[in-house]
Structure formats: C-alpha cells, structure tokens
Chains A and B, each alone.
Chain A
Amino acid sequence: DTEVTQTPKHLVMGMTNKKSLKCEQHMGHRAMYWYKQKAKKPPELMFVYSYEKLSINESVPSRFSPECPNSSLLNLHLHALQPEDSALYLCASSQEATSGPRRGEQYFGPGTRLTVT
C-alpha cells in the first residue's frame, strides 16, 4: 500500500474561519511533509516532520500551524488566511532512509484544493 490520503478534497473558507487539513499514511514512514502548490508551479515545501517532531519550517506564516499527533497522521491548522493562500496543499511521506532503493522517495496525497474568500 503506497497510499497517502488527504481530507477534505476541496475547502472554501473565509478569512476569519478556522479549519484543518488532514493527512494519513499507513506505510510506516517516519517523515511527513506539507507542500503548497500554486497553479502551473512546482510544489513548495512548507513543513517537515521527522519522527513526529517538526524538523523544517520554511518561514511559513503563523496562520498555518502544523501538528503531528502520531506517526501516521499530519494536520495543518488554518486560521485567518488571506486570498493569496488559495492553492493546492499536498501532503507527502517518506522513509527516513539515506541509503537503499527507497532513499529520497516521497509519496504524495491527492491534495486539498483550498479557496480563501
């Protein structure tokens, strides 16, 4: 099973709302990632969790708050977003392998299409 699931698939929220995105994987991966993707652009890294600890925060505004409740789950809490935050939010996971055939390989979920009005 190489599936990463994300919910919801679509989300429309106002600038004063609070919402959360959810990501789940059952591949035993110990690294999980949030990426933001604007139309016709490559994904941009937001956060990395390694063994359930935040290891990378790419200077993301505090209106985005990640959470890793356990090794299979990753959440992204959203509050007071701006219209320019509208994008596809992708979750990914990978083994913490620095050698072997799976090294560096990340599996992506289908994404949550977020629209901020």
Chain B
Amino acid sequence: GDSVTQMEGPVTLSEEAFLTINCTYTATGYPSLFWYVQYPGEGLQLLLKATKADDKGSNKGFEATYRKETTSFHLEKGSVQVSDSAVYFCALSSNQAGTALIFGKGTTLSVSS
C-alpha cells in the first residue's frame, strides 16, 4: 500500500540556519503531496502542496518539489525563525474521493535564537 517516510528528528537549528526535512513516498498512480505543520496545542495547518511531478509548492519561505524520479518531496527553508518551531508532517493523497491522507511520522523542529 501507499506509504510516506520522513526523517523523524528532532531537528534542532539556530535561527537563520538552512532547513531540510526529507520525505519519500511509495504510491501507485499519481498522488498529491502535502506538508502540514502543527504548532504546539493546535491542529494541522496545510503548509504547501504539489499535485503533479515537477510542481513546486511554496509558502511562508518554505518550498518542496514533487520529484517523481526519486519519489521525494523534501521540505526546505533558507533561513528558519524561532516561530517555525513545530512538528512537520509529510502526507500524500491517492486522489480517490473521500480517502484519508497518509502521513509520515512527523518531524519536530526546534529553532533557538
């Protein structure tokens, strides 16, 4: 079945450092790919998405490119801030109507000033 594998961390960085969180997937067909962010005590927020190969999703300085050849969707940010401290989930959708998202295990990011 479909699955998502992401680095579990925790990832600890200093402010303004470069961030990469790796995410790879296994899926049949052409899934849509997402990054969700969860701040402490809150629900999940959609951070960015890509629906087809070579699409680049971007939001709030974060970027990820849908790479079909390497089945990857790595999250990057050039300069992290303390406010980026959160848990980041990579997820895929098989695009069948009404089916659940398949999540990676989540990566905790902690940014210090």
Could you list which residues of chain A lie within 8 angstroms of chain B, going by C-beta atoms?
6, 31, 33, 35, 40-43, 45, 48-50, 55-56, 88, 90, 92, 94, 96-99, 101, 103-111, 113
| Residue from A45, A98, A103, A107 in contact with B100 in the complex, judged by beta carbons closer than 8 Å | A45
Q: Does B81 contact A (CB under 8 A)?
A: no
Given A41-B106, A90-B44, A104–B93 Cβ distance below 8 Å? yes
Binary contact track B91-113/A, C-beta < 8 Å → 1, others 0: 01111111111011110100000
Q: Does B46 contact A (CB under 8 A)?
A: yes
Tell whether, in the assembled complex, residue B42 and residue A42 are in contact, meaning their CB atoms are under 8 Å apart. Answer: no
When A and B form their complex, what is the total count of cross-chain residue pairs whose Cβ atoms lie within 8 Å? 75
The interface on chain B, measured as residues whose beta carbon lies within 8 A of the other chain's beta carbons, has a size of 29
Tell me how far the C-beta of B3 lies from the nearest C-beta in chain A, rounded to whole angstroms: 12
Tell me how far the C-beta of A9 lies from the nearest C-beta in chain B, rounded to whole angstroms: 9
Given A42-B103, A42-B105, A56-B98, A108–B43 Cβ distance below 8 Å? yes
Binary contact track B13-55/A, C-beta < 8 Å → 1, others 0: 0000000000000000001101010000111111001010000
Tell whether, in the assembled complex, residue A101 and residue B106 are in contact, meaning their CB atoms are under 8 Å apart. Answer: no
Q: Does B89 contact A (CB under 8 A)?
A: yes
Across the interface, name the chain A residue whose C-beta is closest to B10: A40
Report chain A residues within 8 Å CB of B94.
104
| Residue from B31, B34, B49, B106 in contact with A40 in the complex, judged by beta carbons closer than 8 Å | B106
Tell whether, in the assembled complex, residue B97 and residue A110 are in contact, meaning their CB atoms are under 8 Å apart. Answer: no
| Distance between Cα atoms of A3 and B44 in the complex (Å) | 12
Tell whether, in the assembled complex, residue A90 and residue B103 are in contact, meaning their CB atoms are under 8 Å apart. Answer: no
Tell whether, in the assembled complex, residue B98 and residue A90 are in contact, meaning their CB atoms are under 8 Å apart. Answer: no
Report chain A residues within 8 Å CB of B32.
103-105
**A-B pairs with the 6 shortest C-beta distances?**
A104-B93, A42-B103, A104-B32, A50-B98, A45-B100, A108-B44
Report chain B residues within 8 Å CB of A101.
51
Given A31-B97, A103-B51, A42–B46 Cβ distance below 8 Å? no
